[in-house]
Homo-oligomer: A and B are copies of this chain.
Amino acid sequence: MRHPGEARAPWRVALGNIIFNNDTPAGRAFDLVLIVLIFVSILVVMLDSVGSIRATYGPLFEWAEWVLTLIFTVEYVLRLISARHATHYATSFFGVVDLLSILPGYLDLLLPGANYLLIVRVLRLLRIFRILKLARYLNEASVLTEAMRASAAKITVFLAVVLTLVTIIGALMYVIEGPANGYTSIPTSIYWAIVTLTTVGFGDITPKTPLGKGLASLAMILGYGILAVPTGIVTVSLSRAQGRRQPQQPQRTCPRCGLQGHDADARYCKRCGELLPGSS
């Protein structure tokens, strides 16, 4: 949908092909360089958080962060220039992520040492998915997404039941065990109930009284059975989502009424009775 007034210059179209597509060697090289730079920037953020490494390489990391911020800034500007619609891009999900990738570098000047900017830097990882989106995993990911969407309502019901269960078990344990045994409040007890029902079991809070251990045992066996439900939901959905993908042969269209979706062994249109193409 090209607006007549904004015919892009040929160099902008060429640049857009390199940056936004990956079906040319230049486009693939651009994506590859970008992936490497994103991983390097994530690695820098990670290593910089390790005290002993920062003590030695701190200045190097700061320098690398600046270089990466500059490169990502240039990339952002190029994307803005070469995008078909600059505002569409700037307000899209990945446009916002791209902007978030460069902001922390500049905000550091205003708010030095702001720790929470770390998170924003880690969000650069999301940019990887833009590139993966174009790759051969697209189809697989869409089967998974479809299965997830199909079972969303069931999983919501399931979550409502689990959250109610966890609240009631948490309140019971708070009354049974009490603050003396580590169940300092109902929210803390609910946290414990979640840790237990999901079979994570940190062990930072554990029941001490016989009654508490009995209730915990019940909760664990319940959690064991409950674990089966989301697995069952997703398996059935996945089985269906994949089943629908199965008929990979070309669709035949009835020459008279235009109906599609004929079975592989059909010779006549099931709606109007016309002989189908490819049937003898």
Contact = CB atoms under 8 A, between A and B. Distances in A.
A140 interface: yes
B122 A171 contact: yes
Contacts of A128: 160, 164
Interface string A223-257: 11101111111111111001000000000000001
A258 B267 CA distance: 14
A254 B82 CA distance: 60
A168 B159 CA distance: 23
B175 A116 contact: yes
A187 B202 contact: no
B179 A154 contact: no
Contact of A266 (B49, B172, B210, B270): B270
Interface in A59-84: none
Nearest to A230: B228
A157 B128 CA distance: 12
A227 B231 contact: yes
Interface in A256-272: 257-260, 262-263, 265-272
A232 B237 contact: yes
Contacts of A18: none
